[in-house]
Structure 1
Amino acid sequence: MATFGSWPTPITSELVVRAAAGLGGVSLHGDTVTWAEQRPEEGGRTQLVQRTGDGPAVDVLPAGVNARTAAHEYGGGAWWVAENTVWFVDWADQRLYTVTGQAAPEPVTPEPEVPRGDRWADGRVTTDGRWVLVVREHHPAGGGPAQVVNEIVVLDATGQLAPRVLVSGPDFVSDPRISPDGGRLCWLQWSHPDMPWDGTELCVADLRTTDTGPLVTNAAVVAGRPDTGPGGTGAGESVSEPRWADDGSLWFISDRSDWWNIYRWVPGVDGAEAVVTMDAEIGSPQWVFGQSSYAFLSEGRTVFSSARDGLGFLAIRLADGSVVDLDVPYTSFASIQAEGDRIVFVGASAVTEPSVVSVTVDAEGTITASEILRAPRDLGLSTEWFSRPEPISFPTSGGRTAHALFYPPTNPGVTAEPGELPPLLVFIHGGPTSAARPMLQLGTQYWTSRGFAVVDVNYGGSTGYGRAYRNQLRGQWGVVDVDDCEAAARWLGEQGHVDPTKLCIRGGSAGGYTTLAALAFRDTFAAGASHYGVADLEALATETHKFESRYLDGLIGPYPARRDLYVDRSPIHHVDGFNRPLIVLQGLEDEVVPPNQAEMIVDALRTKGVPVAYVAFEGEQHGFRQAANIRRALDSELSFYAQIFGFELPDAEHIAAVPVQNL
């Protein structure tokens, strides 16, 4: 028997990062599959890996090269493949490069006037290989977010001609896609104060080739609409992931029915028709470029992933419009690609980390072959060690129902003390327009195997439950999210699952803000952990990068017109409400939530005499990527809880005690 929190476990911070690789985008061309691996043990860099046929998987980029774009700060779409050539953005200088085989990378774009001032993403190569249509985010010298320009430009694939602008005017553009016959171009566009999940426009234009590259004419909006009114009213249409089918029709995801479902637009026909409709979310919020939730197979079939009740599913729409679920052992899917009868994707489950998976299907959607191209790590652990997520729904404020994934404490080698209940960690995802992912994450099992219960809350405003649920956070950030996290913790306590005196709350980015708000304005939680969280909403509104610089208009209200709300909901202005211990973890190169916000709240708590710990990380941006820092963050937070609740750590000799002031 052992006290909750002190259970011995092989799931240490060292195991969390050992040989870990976050799997990103996947590309399928013929019998060659390319994927991205973020490697914490290599400084968090992203390597590209290729496998052709039955051959071995080989690294594409030289040591030290990092395929990552800083466009929108969150990146995505940093690489693509055309024929035998890989195009990628190098994190160091943000220039676009090509690499073929084992040759050294060659730069395609010129050096910008400002270091890293031109950031590239989401490119596509014309069928003749001569031109590249790509998103460019230009940062002028001395300019702030208002001076950043996002455009679609055409590049000469040989690098001889200067980039030329094709689409300009909207605040943001993405997804330039060329029709199969080369005669049309589509793209997405939106402008402040909308975020892409509020309202986007899908545009189509004629594409004409000249000696200096393609030109666009006759541009028109074929789907989507901006949100309306100051701060938005929820009346927009969010369109994402446009794809040209071989027959010249244009497919896309839209939430016009409340759920993100799939639609099709045919040139010359007014409007668009629904091709996949269900009370489930197909697709996800466009935080990054290059997402792929569906793909075309042969014989008029389409494979797609969806989310319902907090879990993911994979299915095929057959040519007759019927939908067949695929029998695969995964609950989370990303980067769906297809060609012929073959589907490639990143899949994970409650007991397996992400893998790159290939399956072959017949005409009826039955799987005839399956292969794991990039296996998850061999953790050397029985699945008995893994806590499985249990989707739960619970009552919350305003007569609403909120949702979460609950992970009970799980450890096959320990029996709990009789009558004792576990402490609870309330996990809050970032965004806040995002969702908890139903997959094996050792960062969660690190806690559950030690005797903590975890609840990963999909509060009102999260994705996966339709637009109406997503819109619950409009004007209510710092209210609805806090209500729902409180409700989840209290409900679990009332149901006898957790100790109601040991409720803790933790989160990163937007989740860090919710953590700070819960501690400043409520008294439910005994302690909290803010990972690069927002303490001053006003500072965030005035200092953050272009992509999110008007995000708070919809979440709180227009600034500065509703400055009163920004002050009222900023934890930094309500330090008198803090009386529970807090640990703050912050990257010192964070451009999304600058370090001064963390330091303001820590200084205020030090002065007030509230127990507080502060851990800062050199070389980290918004989120921790380096193995040593990921380990230090986990172990510091565990040490913090051990000191607050007074339990012993079974591996204390391997965990440096984090200094807690005012304890």
Structure 2
Amino acid sequence: MQPEAPGAAEKATAPYGSWESPITAAAVSAAGRTVEGLAVAGDGRLVWVEKRPVEGGASVLVREAAEPRGKALDVTPQGFAVRTLAQEYGGGSGAFAVQGDTVVFSNYSDQRLYMQTIGDSSPRPLTPDYAASEVCYADGVFDPHFHRYVTIMEDHRNNSSDPVTTIAAVKISDRDVNEPTILVSGNDFYAFPRIDPSEKRMAWIEWSNPNMSWDKSQLWVGYFSEKGEVQNRICIAGGDPTLVESPTEPKWSSKGELFFITDRQSGFWNIYKWDEQSNVVIQLYALDAEFSKPMWVFGASSYDFVGKNDSSLKIICCYRQNGRSYVGVLDPGSGSFSTLVIPFSSVTNIVSGDECFYIEGASANLPVSIAKVTLDEKRTVTTDFSLIWSSSEDVTEYKSYFSLPEFIEFPTVIPGQHAYAYFYAPYNHSFQGPSDEKPPLLVRTHGGPTEEARGILDLNVQYWTSRGWALVDVNYGGSSGYGREYRERILGQWGAVDVNDCCSCATFLVETGRVDGQRLCITGESAGGFTTLACLAFRQTFKAGCSLYGIADLTSLRAGSHKFEACYTDNLVGNKQAYDERAPINFVDKFTCPLILFHGLEDTVVPPDQTAKIYKAIKDKGLPVALVEYEGEPHGFRKAENIKFTLEQEMVFFARLVGKFKVAGDITPIKIENFD
């Protein structure tokens, strides 16, 4: 279903894929700002990290404007960037914390922690200057009891491939730079150190290889001694060998009550509370829905408290169910839950402010944005919803070109089983396709592979659909958002379940008459790039593909994996035979269609030689192939000019080799080996 537009009856007829559109690749890259992490400063104004492709991918801490509809103000001074490299994926969401008008942040270039007063342009270092950024910090909080900063510390000094991760304390009370003091150690990974504001104790999450945090983890509480050391530790959740669970996101209320999210028994992440006296955990509200998500980066905040300083404490939270996010208010005393009406269909982070709360979200009509929400006195009805930041402030000028997502359920190769996707039909208020033609289809495969496509307004999608392409975002088995059972479909089956589901989705759209079966293309990033390459190697469904920093050689990926994912590939692939049988690089002879590849040369997650290998093999076989490598780009492109170039070249490649139409606009195609 598409929006009605004036003059729809006067549409020009032109081949699908050739339509003119104002949504250019430059417009897409300019709208590529992202938000990473939310926190509220002492003056009640929101602060967050903004990643800016037009500034070379800079990550800058900004503060909400003092006046409604005012412009947010940069907090981070020139020469600094707020981004941690912990667990390789790093990012800005776990790279800072705010208390009052003071911020502590991880600086990208040297990975040191700095402390800064908001409004001051001279941050001072808190941690030593180690050579080559060998120590990283993330997910820190201020300790109100001992005037220090407690943080996750990842130390690469003794072994770069097997760093030591701990929970450490950093002094902030004097101007001397000191070695951090280790508080908790001995396990492979830690996250969410959270300190009770009312008593001297701390909660945290920990887990060990071969698990990822969403496979199996533990929630602990430790009590501080008079000297600030952690002692008398108690395992709150995850210690029972008869239960498989992944507790996450612990938070203390102002009264010292510990809340957290776990997926015990039901397989869905729900909100729980720890009863300290009986040392049992109590489920506050049962729902077959996901109140959290896999922890790929630090700093997630899926819920927070409203009414912190009175007896009417309530929890504002979000959850995913059937491809949509919902926001509601949970009363932990009565267990009652009130769903709020808001314009977002996807919500990723929530933090509480003064008489309001802030949410990061999006919808089919709104790009990723931050909204300020006010409730009535009973905290059950939304009285005000106002956007304070948007990833694309000018997006409304393209509204008449937007294709709206349709949530679809399609059959998999297993009888009676289904998977999910968002389908976008081609749409442009000025053009229509010929009556005897079906549109080409681009299948997008997300990364992870435990990430999730969310069906929100994304100009990357609209770039294709406004030119006459159909596009489908597939949430294959293994995706998050649908519970543990759905997420674990891919365990031991990576390269099979995801491949089958992507092909089944494309076939379903052909059989239901929506797309042209002779013009099916597939694209994916990272793990999605692997799925793309595997589809091309082991199936004959698609006519061309695009892999962006994707995986071609599973064995070399495992050998070179960083600690965070050291065992992840084993869990996904299985035994050695499967490593060999599912690696696209081992089956180049089975490739039959064109391929374009993109990779950043500073990628430490998927080494660039993965792409170089598959490029050479496909070239030597004689198939049309093109490779673009970017200097200075990591895992995921951050620079606007590279985002623009990638999008343009991918579309032109598909148009020349599969679409048999000319793309509107002045785009000079790169050379395609074995074709030009």
Q: TM-score range by the shorter chain?
A: over 0.9
Task: After superposition, give the CA deviation of every residue in 1:214-244 in whole Å (9 maximum; x if it has no partner).
Answer: 210011211025999xxxxxx6311111111
1:166 paired residue among 172, 183, 190:
183
* Cα distance in structure 2, aligned partners of 1:356 and 1:106: 30
Indicate the residue corresponding to 1:110 in structure 2: 128
Q: 1:339 & 1:374 partners in 2: Cα distance? A: 16
Per-residue deviation, 1:354: 1.7
**Alignment partner, residue 394 of structure 1:** 410
Instruction: State the partner residue of 2:246.
Output: 238
Output the amino acid matched with 1:116. Answer: S
How far does residue 648 in structure 1 lie from its aligned partner after superposition? 3.8
RMSD: 1.6
Q: 2:273 pairs with 264, 268, 284, which one?
A: 264
Residue in 1 that maps onto 2:476: 459
Provide the rounded CA distance (Å) in 2 between the counterparts of 1:645 and 1:227.
Answer: 53
Please state how far the C-alpha of 1:483 moved relative to its aligned partner. Answer: 0.5
**2:393, 2:348 → 1: CA distance?**
18
Name 1:216's counterpart in structure 2. Answer: 230
Question: Residue 532 of structure 2: which of 492, 515, 526 is its match?
Answer: 515
- Name the CA distance, whole Å, in 2 between partners of 1:261 and 1:122: 22
Distance 1:269 1:226, change over 3 A: closer
Deviation per residue, 1:23-50 (Å, 9 max, x gap): 2211123422101111001100111111
Correspondences of 1:42-61 after superposition (within 5 Å): 42-51=55-64, 53-54=66-67, 56-61=71-76
Match of 2:393 among 377, 397, 400: 377
How far did 1:56 drift? Answer: 4.9
1:106 partner amino acid? R
- CA apart distance, 1:372: 1.9
Partner of 1:145 in structure 2?
161
Partner deviation per Cα, 1:347-377 (whole Å, 9 max, x = no partner): 2111111222111112141112232222441
Give runs of aligned pairs for residues 349-498 of structure 1, distance below 5 A. Answer: 349-362=363-376, 363-375=378-390, 376-379=392-395, 381-399=397-415, 400-498=417-515
Give the match for residue 232 of structure 1. none
CA distances 1:271-317 after superposition (whole Å, capped 9, x unpaired): 21111221111111000000011111112211111111111111111
3-state SS of 1:516 partner: helix
Does residue 296 in structure 1 map to residue 300 in structure 2? no
From 667, 671, 676, give the equivalent of 1:659. Answer: 671
Contact 1:198 1:226 in 2 (8 A): no
Query: Mean alpha-carbon deviation: is it higher for 448-457 or for 378-387?
Result: 378-387
Cross-structure match for 1:5: 17
Name the aligned partner's letter for residue 308 of structure 1. Answer: Q
Deviations 1:625-652 (A, max 9, x none): 1000000110110110111025444434
Q: d(CA) in 2 for partners of 1:244 and 1:98?
A: 24
* Residue equivalent to 2:94: 77
Range moving further from structure 2, 245-254 or 602-611: 245-254
Cα shift at 1:53: 4.1
The match for 1:156 among 171, 175, 199 is 171
**AA partner of residue 57 (structure 1):** A
Contact 2:17 2:659 in 1 (8 A): no
Indicate the residue corresponding to 1:348 in structure 2. 362
Residues of 1 paired with 2:277 and 2:175: CA distance?
A: 37
Contact 1:405–1:455 under 8 Å retained in 2: yes
CA distance in 2, matches of 1:646, 1:34: 45
Aligned length: 646
Show CA shifts across 1:399-429 (max 9, x none). 2211111111111110111121111111111
Matched, 1:179 2:191: no
Counterpart residue type for residue 286 of structure 2: T
In structure 2, do the counterparts of structure 1 residues 373 and 652 end up closer, same or farther at CA, with 3 Å as the change threshold? Answer: closer
Unaligned runs of 5+ in 2: 1-12
- 1: CA distance, partners of 2:372 / 2:348: 13
Q: 1:28 aligns with which of 40, 46, 63?
A: 40
* Residue of 534, 543, 548 corresponding to 2:560: 543
Aligned twin of 1:595: 608
Structure 2 residue matching 1:4: 3-state secondary structure: coil
Question: 2:198, 2:255 within 8 Å by CA — same for their partners in 1?
Answer: no
Q: What corresponds to 1:631 in structure 2?
A: 644
Matched residue of 1:381: which SS?
helix
**Corresponding residue number in structure 2 for 1:605:** 618
TM-score scaled by length of structure 2 = 0.93
- Which deviates further from its counterpart, 14-23 or 468-477? 14-23
Which 5+ residue runs of structure 1 have no aligned equivalent?
A: 229-234
Q: How far 1:117 moved relative to its partner?
A: 0.3
Alpha carbons 2:656, 2:662 under 8 Å: kept: no
Partner of 2:5: none
Cα pair distance change 1:433/1:226, threshold 3 Å:
farther
Instruction: Give the match for residue 10 of structure 2.
Output: none
Change (3 A) 1:584 1:227: farther
Counterpart check, 1:332 vs 2:346: yes
Answer whether contact 1:109 1:159 (CA < 8 A) is retained: no
Q: Which amino acid aligns with 1:622?
A: H
Conservation of the 8 A alpha-carbon contact between 1:447 and 1:453: yes
Corresponding residue to 2:578 among 534, 546, 565? 565
1:617 aligns with 2:630: yes
Partners of 1:3 and 1:647 within 8 A in 2: no
Residues of 1 paired with 2:226 and 2:467: CA distance? 62
Q: Partner of 2:28 in structure 1?
A: 16
Tell me whether 1:67 sits opposite 2:85 in the alignment.
no
Quote the residue 1:231 is aligned against: none
Q: 1:19 to 1:610 in 2, by over 3 A?
A: closer
CA–CA separation in structure 1 for the residues paired with 2:240 and 2:412: 31
Q: What is the CA distance between 1:382 and its match in structure 2?
A: 4.4
* 2:128 maps to amino acid: P
Q: TM-score, normalised by structure 1?
A: 0.95
Letter in 2 for 1:63: Q
Q: Does 1:252 align with 2:260?
A: yes
Shift of 1:144: 4.0
* Alignment check: 8 A CA contact 1:199 1:227 kept: no
Letter in 2 for 1:297: V
Q: Deviations over 1:75-121 (max 9, x none)?
A: 14011101111111111111111111223111110111x31100000
Residue 61 of structure 1 and its aligned partner are, at CA, apart by: 0.9
Residues 418 and 44 of structure 1: is their aligned pair in 2 closer, same or farther, counting only changes over 3 Å?
same
Q: Which AA in structure 2 matches 1:347?
A: G
Contact preservation (8 Å) 2:65, 2:73: no
SS at structure 2 position matched to 1:397: coil
Aligned CA distance change for structure 1 residues 563 and 345 (closer, same or farther; 3 Å): same
Secondary structure (helix, strand or coil) at the match of 2:616 reads helix
Residues 6-31 of structure 1, C-alpha deviations (whole Å, 9 max, x = no match): 11101111101226421221112342
The alpha carbon displacement at 1:379 in A equals: 2.8
**1:95 is matched with which residue?**
112
Counterpart residue type for residue 236 of structure 1: V
Contact in 1 for aligned 2:342/2:385 (Cα 8 Å): no
Change in Cα spacing, 1:226 to 1:512, as seen in structure 2 (3 Å) is farther
Trace 1:514-533 onto structure 2 (pairs within 5 A).
Answer: 514-533=531-550
2: distance between equivalents of 1:512 and 1:542? Answer: 19
Provide the C-alpha distance between the structure 1 equivalents of 2:475 and 2:116, rounded to a whole number of angstroms: 41
